[in-house]
Amino acid sequence: MKILMVTSESNPFAKTGGLADVVYALSKEQAVLGHEVSIVLPKYGSLMQTENLQMRFIASVPVSLGWREQVAKIFKTVLDGITFYFVDNEYYFAREGLYGYYDDMERFAFFTLAVRNMLEVIKLKPDIIHVHDWQPGMLPVLIKKQNKDQPFYKKMKFVLTIHNPAFQGMFDPNLIVDFYGLPIRLYDNGLLRFNDRASSLKAAIMTVDKITTVSPTHASELLTPEGSKGLDPIINLRRDDFVGILNGIDYQEFNPLKDPNLPLNFSNRSLNRKEQLKKLLFEELNIDYHGQALYGMVSRLTWQKGINLVLEAAELVLQKGASVVIVGSGEYGYEQEFERLRARYPNTMAIYIGYNNQLAHRVYAASDFFFMPSLFEPCGIGQMIAMRYATLPIVRRTGGLNDTVIGYDGQNEDEATGFVFDEYNRYWMNLTTLFALEIYQDKELLKKLRLNTMRVDNRWEKSAKEYIALYEEVVK
C-alpha cells in the first residue's frame, strides 16, 4: 500500500511532543512491513539532524491562499525506508520553533494547500492519506470538495489520528473562503462549524474514512463530555468509524542494552548498573550522591501534564532527601517554579529547561521513578520509555496511562509495573509518591517490579499492523 503521513511534526526533524515520535516510528514499522510510506511536513527553520542528509529540491508548487500568491518549494530525502517531503516557504516557516505565531492558522492552511497541490505535481498518488491532529485537518475536505471528479484523486482514502483533542484548529469562518476557496455553505450546514467558529479538527473528523486515537481508554474518553474537550457529539456521529489503537515506542531508539546516549548499558541481567547510571548522572548534573532515590521527569511543561502535582510532590520527596531531575520546557510560570525549587535544593535537584534528547535518555535510564500524573493523556510515551529502562512510572489513571501501567497495590508484585492513582489531586499524588519512596527501601521488591517493567512489550509491530488492517478496510 502507498501511505502518506501528513503532519506538523516528525522525528528526527521536528518535535515538540509525542506526535513526532509516533508518526516516525509508526511509518518506520509500516515500511518494514513492506509498505511504501512517505511523510510530509513543513521545512521549519529549526529542522534538526539535517547535516549529512541528501535533501533534494524536487519541485516548485504554486499555492494561492485567496489573493496571496505563494510558492512552496518541495524537498525530498529518504531515511530509514521512509520518503520525507518538506514543504518550504521562508515567509511561513523560516522562524524559530514550530508553533505559537499569530498567523499559525494561515501557516498550516498554506501547508495543507501545498500538500494537496504537490501531489499531482510530483505524481504522488497514495492509497491512504493519514492526517495527524488539526494542522492538516482541512486536507480531506479540500480534496473531497475540490478534486473529487479528477481521476488522480478519486481513489484516495483518508484516516485521521487524534493525538490531542485539546487542540482543535479553531479559526474564523470567513477564512474557509479566504484561505481555502471553499464555499461558506460548509460552515452554514455545520460541517466545519464547532462552537460557532470553524475547526479544522472537526473538519477532518467529519470527512475522513476512519478516525483513530492513540489508546483504547482514550477512545472511550473521547465519547464522553469530560474526556473529549467538547468533541464528543461529533465523534459520536462517527463512532462506527472510530477506534483506539495504542501507540508503541521505538525499540531501536530506546534500548537499554545498546543506547549510545548512556555511559553504561544494561539489561535485565545487569539491573544494578542503574545505580551506576544514577551516580554518573548526578556527577553530570552536580547532584550529591548518597544512595538516594531519583524521581525523573521528561515532559512538556504544560497544564495537561499535571505539573502542579509534580511541583508539590517533588518538594515532599526532596525534603526527605530524595533527588528530582526534570527535563523539559513549556509554560514560563512552571519553568520558573521549578527553578525556584531547585534554588531551595541545589544539591539534590536539577532541571534542564529545553529539549535535550541525549540527556532525556540518561534521565529515563538513571531514574528510579518517573513522574507522569497527567490531567489527561491520550496515550503518553514517557511512561513506556521509562518502563523500557526499568524505571517505575507514577501515573494517574487516564487515557493511555491506564492501558500501559499496572499499579502496585501491595499484593500484585508479580505483575505491577508502576504506581497508579485515580483522582487528580495533591492528596493522591503525594501519597503515591511517598509510597514509591517506601518501596525504594525494599530492594527485593524494587527489583521484582523493575523486572516486570522490562518484560512489557510496547513494540510498534502490533499497532502498525492494526493501522494497516484499518487502511485495508477502507481501500478495498
Question: Contact between 216 and ligand GLC (CB under 6 A)?
Answer: no
Question: Contact between 214 and ligand GLC (CB under 6 A)?
Answer: yes
Please identify which residue in the block is written with the cell numbers 501511505.
Answer: 3
**Closest to ligand GLC by CB, 164 or 453:** 164
Strand order, beta sheet including 294-298 = 349-353, 323-328, 294-298, 369-372, 392-396, 419-421
Question: Contact between 18 and ligand GLC (CB under 6 A)?
Answer: yes
Radius of gyration of the chain (CA): 23
Which among 305, 353, 310 has a CA at the least distance from the CA of 329? 353
**Closest to ligand GLC by CB, 19 or 139:** 19
Question: Contact between 201 and ligand GLC (CB under 6 A)?
Answer: no
Question: Contact between 381 and ligand GLC (CB under 6 A)?
Answer: yes
CB 162 within 8 A of CB 201: yes
**Closest to ligand GLC by CB, 124 or 249:** 249
CA 196, chain centre distance (Å): 28
Question: Contact between 231 and ligand GLC (CB under 6 A)?
Answer: no
d(CA 146, CA 180): 10
- Strand, coil or helix: what is 6? strand
What is the pattern of x (binds ligand GLC, CB under 6 A) and - over residues 156-175? -------xx-----------
What is the pattern of x (binds ligand GLC, CB under 6 A) and - over residues 339-378? --------------------------------------xx
d(CA 97, CA 456): 35
Interface with ligand GLC (CB under 6 A), residue from 6, 19, 231, 449: 19
Interface with ligand GLC (CB under 6 A), residue from 17, 81, 173, 181: 17
**Closest to ligand GLC by CB, 76 or 130:** 130
Sequence-separated (6 or more) residues with CB below 8 Å from residue 373: 305, 306, 309, 310, 313, 394, 395, 396, 421, 424, 429
**Region of 16-24, 106-114, 224-232, 274-282 interacting with ligand GLC (CB under 6 A):** 16-24
Question: Contact between 39 and ligand GLC (CB under 6 A)?
Answer: no
What is the pattern of x (binds ligand GLC, CB under 6 A) and - over residues 114-153? ----------------------------------------
CA 438, chain centre distance (Å): 32
Q: 393 to 432, contacts with ligand GLC by CB under 6 A?
A: 400
The distance of closest approach from Cβ of residue 176 to ligand GLC in the complex, given in angstroms and rounded to an integer, is 27
Which among 407, 402, 389, 403 has a CA at the least distance from the CA of 454? 389
d(CA 128, CA 160): 10
Question: Contact between 287 and ligand GLC (CB under 6 A)?
Answer: no
Interface with ligand GLC (CB under 6 A), residue from 206, 326, 379, 395: 379
- Strand, coil or helix: what is 78? strand
Q: Which residue is nearest to ligand GLC (CB)?
A: 18
What is the pattern of x (binds ligand GLC, CB under 6 A) and - over residues 56-75? --------------------
**How does DSSP assign 148-207, residue by residue?**
TTSHHHHT-EEEEEES-TT---EE-THHHHHTT---THHHHTSSSEETTEEEHHHHHHHH
Question: Contact between 29 and ligand GLC (CB under 6 A)?
Answer: no
Strands 197-199 and 193-194: antiparallel
d(CA 246, CA 254): 18
d(CA 152, CA 226): 42
Question: Contact between 380 and ligand GLC (CB under 6 A)?
Answer: yes
**Closest to ligand GLC by CB, 214 or 219:** 214
**Closest to ligand GLC by CB, 306 or 378:** 378
Question: Under the rule (CB under 6 A), what is the footprint of ligand GLC?
Answer: 17-19, 22, 163-164, 214, 247, 377-381, 400
